[in-house]
């Protein structure tokens, strides 16, 4: 069965410092990986995705993620955190069921807190 | 382009009642997926519709059902509500398609359902 793990419930960083939110996955076959962010009382916003190609994927709002096949990881990173980045971050893997777009398997989420 | 819209945003129902939630996808998107978000279970996939057909289904009881109309708008219905159905129900749309290419999903703000 496919799964996603986000080992940290919360990550605290100071504004201006680099941030990393960790994600590991388990899939059969090639993974399709996604990062989403959720602000309070809002739906999820798409940040970036990895399908194939370069291991470093750039996304919205200055975020990027590094795909590491040997470590089965897809960590989210940002060189300089902003207070406005404080939110709940979800890593997800797309179900390999062919012919379906919809089944994203999400991690439990990591709460990012950026302090001034 | 207008985003994914969901109505109503908030709903309070009593155990045993039924409820219908509505979702309007982004114009041109043909795939609509539904997810349930709770503090305990996180984000869980309910089902996906494409061209008025259910294409994939998660592990939820038959009390949860859905449908999609010819204009891609979707509804989900929950019958015989239980306290445990209290959750944020999120709808997501994507370009979809018959192939396997993993399009990103765009989420609506959700419907907060409270069952008393």
Contacts of B1 (CB under 8 A, 6+ apart): B26, B27
How far, CA to CA in Å, does A66 sit from each of A11, A35, A78, B102?
Answer: 18, 11, 11, 18
Residue A65 clears pLDDT 90, i.e. is over it: yes
In the structure, what pLDDT confidence band is assigned to residue B75 with cuts at 50, 70 and 90?
very high
pLDDT at A43: 85
Does residue B32 have a pLDDT over 70?
A: yes
Q: How confident is the model at residue A104 (pLDDT cuts 50, 70, 90)?
A: confident
Residue B99 has pLDDT above 70, yes or no: no
Which pLDDT belongs to residue A92? 94
Tell me how close the Cα of B92 comes to any Cα of chain A, in angstroms.
8
- Is the pLDDT at A1 greater than 80, yes or no? no
Q: B107, A36: Cβ pair inside 8 Å?
A: yes
Q: Over 70: is that where the pLDDT of A39 sits?
A: yes
- Mind telling me how many Å the CA of B15 is from chain A's nearest CA? 24
Write out chain A residues lying below 8 Å of B48, CB-based.
100-103
Collect all residues with Cβ–Cβ distance below 8 Å to B72 and sequence separation of at least 6: B25, B29, B30, B32, B93
Average of per-residue pLDDT values in chain B: 92
Q: Report the percent of chain A where pLDDT is more than 70.
A: 93
Q: Over 90: is that where the pLDDT of B35 sits?
A: yes
Q: Does the structure show a pLDDT above 90 at A100? A: no
pLDDT beyond 90 at B96: no
The whole-angstrom separation of Cα A23 and Cα A35 is: 9
Q: Between chains, do A101 and B43 touch, taking CB under 8 Å as contact?
A: no
Residues of B with Cβ-Cβ distance to A102 under 8 angstroms: 31-33, 45, 47-48, 50, 55-56, 92, 94, 105
What mean pLDDT is reported for chain A?
A: 91
Mean pLDDT to the nearest integer, A110-114: 97
- Contact between chains at A100 and B58 (C-beta distance less than 8 A): no
pLDDT of residue A99: 52
Hey, what are A38's tokens?
A: 């959720």
């Amino acid at each position: 069965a496919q799964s996603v793990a986000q080992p940290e419930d919360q990550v605290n960083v100071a504004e201006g410092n680099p941030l990393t939110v960790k994600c590991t996955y388990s899939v059969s076959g090639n993974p399709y990986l996604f990062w989403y962010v959720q602000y309070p009382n809002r739906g999820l916003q798409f940040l970036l995705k990895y399908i194939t190609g370069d291991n470093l994927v750039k996304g919205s709002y200055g975020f990027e993620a590094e795909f590491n096949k040997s470590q089965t990881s897809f960590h989210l990173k940002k060189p300089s955190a902003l207070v406005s980045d404080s939110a709940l971050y979800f890593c997800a893997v797309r179900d390999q069921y062919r012919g379906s777009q919809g089944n994203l398997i999400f991690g439990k989420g990591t709460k990012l807190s950026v302090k001034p | 382009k207008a985003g994914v819209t969901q109505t109503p945003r908030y709903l309070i129902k009593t155990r045993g009642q039924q409820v219908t939630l509505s979702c309007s996808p982004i114009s041109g998107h043909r795939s609509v997926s539904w997810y349930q978000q709770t503090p305990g279970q996180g984000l869980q996939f309910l089902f996906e519709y494409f061209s008025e057909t259910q294409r994939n289904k998660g592990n939820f009881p038959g009390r949860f059902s859905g449908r999609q109309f010819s204009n891609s708008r979707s509804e989900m219905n929950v019958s015989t509500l239980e306290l445990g159905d209290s959750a944020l129900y999120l709808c997501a749309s994507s370009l979809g398609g018959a192939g396997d290419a993993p399009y990103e999903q765009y989420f609506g703000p959700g419907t907060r359902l409270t069952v008393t």
